[in-house]
Structure 1
Amino acid sequence: MEVYNEKELYNSIKDAYLSGKKVMIIGYGKHSNPRKSDIYLKIKMDYYKIEKEGYVEAYAGASVDKIREEASEHGLLLPCLYDGSIGGLLANNEFSPLSTRYGKPYDFTEKVFFITPFGKISWKIIIGSKGRLGAIYKARLKLFPKPTKVFTFEKSFNKKDETIAYVNKLMHLKPLAMLVEYDGKYTIHASYDFNADIHGFSKDEGVATIEETNRNGYYVNTPTIEDFMNAIEDTQPIYAYTVVGSGISKFYVADEDAIKKLNYFTHDDIPRVYWKLKAILDFKNIFA
Structure 2
Amino acid sequence: MGFIRALRGEAYLLTHRRGFRWALIATVATVLLHVFGSWILLEMNRAAGGSGPGESGDWNFWPRFASSARAGLFLVELFLVGLVAAAFPREIASGAIRDPLMRGISRASLLFARAVASLALPLILGGTAIGAAALGAGLFFESGDVMEEGFAVFEEHEVRKEIFLALGHGFPSLVALAGLAVFVSAWFARGAVAVAAGLALVLLPGVLPSGLSSWSSWMFTSTLPGLGAESYLGKAAQFAAGYADALPRSFDRVIQIGWVAPWPALLLCLMFAILVFKNREL
Q: Does the alignment reach a TM-score above 0.5?
A: no
TM range (shorter): under 0.3
Structure having greater relative contact order (Cα 8 Å, sep ≥ 6): 2
TM-score (normalised: structure 2): 0.28
TM-score (normalised: structure 1): 0.27
Greater percentage in strand: 1
**Which structure is larger by alpha-carbon Rg, 1 or 2?**
2
